[in-house]
Chain A
Amino acid sequence: MKFERWFPWVFCALLALFPLLASSLGLDFYVGFVRRAMIFALAAASLNFILGFGGMAALGHAGFLGVGAYALVALSDAGIESAWILWPAAMVVAGLVAALIGLIALRTRGVYLIMSTLAFAQMLYYVALSLRIYGGDDGYNLMARPSFGLGLDSADEATFYWVVLGLLALVMVGLNRATHSRFGHALMGLRDNETRMRAMGYPVFKLMLVAFSLSGALAGLAGALLVSHNAFVSPSAMHWTQSATLIVMVVIGGVGLRWGGPVGAVVWIGLEELVKQFTEYWHLPLGLLLIVIVFVAPRGLASVAEHWRLPRRPRPAEPAGAVLTPGEGS
């Protein structure tokens, strides 16, 4: 069987074994850490779906994360405890908000799309700031983790870990299916040449809107999981730098590569944790690393792995027009 078919499942099994091993190795702290990394992997995968496969550069994904988180907080505050209601509800709300935003934002392209998604995410941020019943600026403490039912103990850290792992696996399988479906191919087609897809009669705007809303809904799920994980949410989770961090994760992982989102999220959060062990100034080395990555691995780390695995092929000759590429400076 091919490497990329069996390896994810083996890795998934190893991840599932981790909480069992962790308690005997005294690494209990890292169960929570890996769980957080998996939640961000989910968020990054949802962003990669529109960024990498749909070609929509959205700089407002943390906004949808926040919508999911606050939807959960609102329902939980109203007395609903079951995760079976809370998490899907967070997805639906985030998906609807994404659809509404997409209706306007997706009419723009390129830099203007980056800017308009950013603007809408800022609006959501200010709305969260004004929600004084949910703590406003100070944030909101979730009293109890949503209950899973089915005889599962939601207070148990390992159980919640397995639930998150299961959801991540489900989402990855789902996204993988989606990218290999007609829908996914149409999406990639319009990323590569929108005019041609339009000319071929594809409903370009509708496709983009569906992908955008789906991605928003998944980000909402990640947000709901994150607030369940932290037992806390504040508007700072929706700050634009959080959206930028999600983009960073996707780009260092590999834009438009199946594992780009998760790889990037795990690498970024892992590095953050690692550098924090040595210095409180962890932004500085990571910032430098980002700059290096842009020049050394522009297609992301997942692409580097792919590069090693594939047989080396001779490079195609540079197209003649390359001489005139804009911005050669003098």
Chain B
Amino acid sequence: MTTILFIEQMLNGLGYGFMLFLLAAGLTLVFGIMDVMNLAHGSLFMAGAYVAAHVHGRTGSFVIGVLSALAVVLVLALVLEVFLVRRLYGREHLAQVLATFGVILVADDAVKLIWGAAPIMASAPALLSGPIELLPGLMYPSYRLLILAAGVLVAVGLYLLVNHTRVGMLVRAGASNRRMAEFMGVRVGQVFSMVFLLGATLAALAGALMGPLTAVQVGMGEEILIPSLVVLVIGGIGSVRGAFVAAMVVGMVDTIGRAFLPLLLRSFLSPTLVSDLAPAMAGLATYALMACVLAFKPAGLFPARG
């Protein structure tokens, strides 16, 4: 019984980790290459979730919902890149925080104007609504398996793109030493624009896939942004590999903290105290992890800049 619960929670942790990876992969490259602090990344995630839920509700097709979310967010990101983010290169981080925080404010209100302040319903596709028996006695929601599969697919795709293509080589060159890459004739600006759009699309994918599992509501972007920034910092800014490892670790730590910390604490503390403490400690866990990593490896686990 407990092993089954354990496996189930581990799978949940992996799923959360993959979603964090989708967000952090884009962030880490945007950050790593151009040193642009983009707080609006979470807003793209939110936009993806809303568009997917809306279109899915209207057309009844989950696939069309996800695809249209990707398309819409791609266009939004293009507008954002051309009119704002491109102009923030080389500005100090505070200006970037300010401008992209402005984008968050605009995005939240725009969503409120279109869909209202109340959370909207996002449902899993009918085909994947039931659980699947993975092992004898282990029933697992099939939709969560889809998320795992999508995560693995994107991770492999990104690995191939970054490590085995010419474009990926330019991305890595830009991340490890932008100035030198520019001197060598890499059009870092173009590479960056592309990476920004790719990152935005991945954020939209994460939003569209996460929608049915969590509430699709205003502010969801701000909530997911912080854990993905934690992933970014733990992994080392600019490193996709670091983002992957850190996302898995953070996903696990968070899920295990939420699922097993209460059980663990209950063995030597009073139940009321546990119900007070456990949620906070689970919430704290990822940040404590990040503080530890920063204290010992101030540039993250896999720093891209040598």
Q: Is B279 an interface residue (CB 8 A)?
A: yes
Do B299 and A330 touch (CB < 8 A)?
no
Measured as residues with beta carbon below 8 angstroms from the partner, the interface class of chain A is 35 or more
A248-B189 in contact given A112-B294, A126-B284, A287-B106 (Cβ < 8 Å): no
Q: CB-CB < 8 A to B128: which residues of A?
A: none
Do A284 and B109 touch (CB < 8 A)?
yes
Chain A binding surface, main DSSP class: helix
Q: CB-CB < 8 A to A108: which residues of B?
A: 294, 298
Q: Is B175 an interface residue (CB 8 A)?
A: no
Q: Is B204 an interface residue (CB 8 A)?
A: no
Do B237 and A325 touch (CB < 8 A)?
no
Do B226 and A291 touch (CB < 8 A)?
no
Q: Which of B50-58, B66-74, B87-95 lines the interface with chain A?
A: B87-95
Q: CB-CB < 8 A to A288: which residues of B?
A: 102, 106
Do B95 and A327 touch (CB < 8 A)?
no
In angstroms, Cα B105 to Cα A288, docked, is 8
Do B102 and A289 touch (CB < 8 A)?
yes
Cβ-defined partner of B89 (8 Å) among A118, A287, A326:
A326
Q: Which of A66-74, A127-135, A168-176, A226-234 lines the interface with chain B?
A: A127-135
Q: CB-CB < 8 A to A116: which residues of B?
A: 233, 290-291, 294
- A327 to B, closest residue via Cβ: B89
Per the 8 Å Cβ criterion, residues 196-245 of B in contact with A are: 222, 226, 229-230, 232-233, 237
Do A330 and B187 touch (CB < 8 A)?
yes
Q: Is B287 an interface residue (CB 8 A)?
A: yes
Q: In the assembled complex, how far is the CB of residue B230 from the closest CB belonging to chain A, in whole angstroms?
A: 6
Per the 8 Å Cβ criterion, residues 92-109 of B in contact with A are: 93-95, 97-99, 101-109
Do A130 and B276 touch (CB < 8 A)?
yes
Binding site for A on B (CB under 8 A): 31, 34-35, 37, 39, 84, 86-91, 93-95, 97-99, 101-110, 112-113, 178-179, 182, 187-190, 192-193, 222, 226, 229-230, 232-233, 237, 276-277, 279-281, 283-284, 287-288, 290-291, 294-295, 298-299
Binding site for B on A (CB under 8 A): 51, 57, 59, 104, 107-108, 110-112, 114-116, 118-120, 122-123, 126-127, 129-130, 132, 240-241, 244, 247-248, 251-252, 255, 281-284, 286-291, 293-295, 298, 324-330
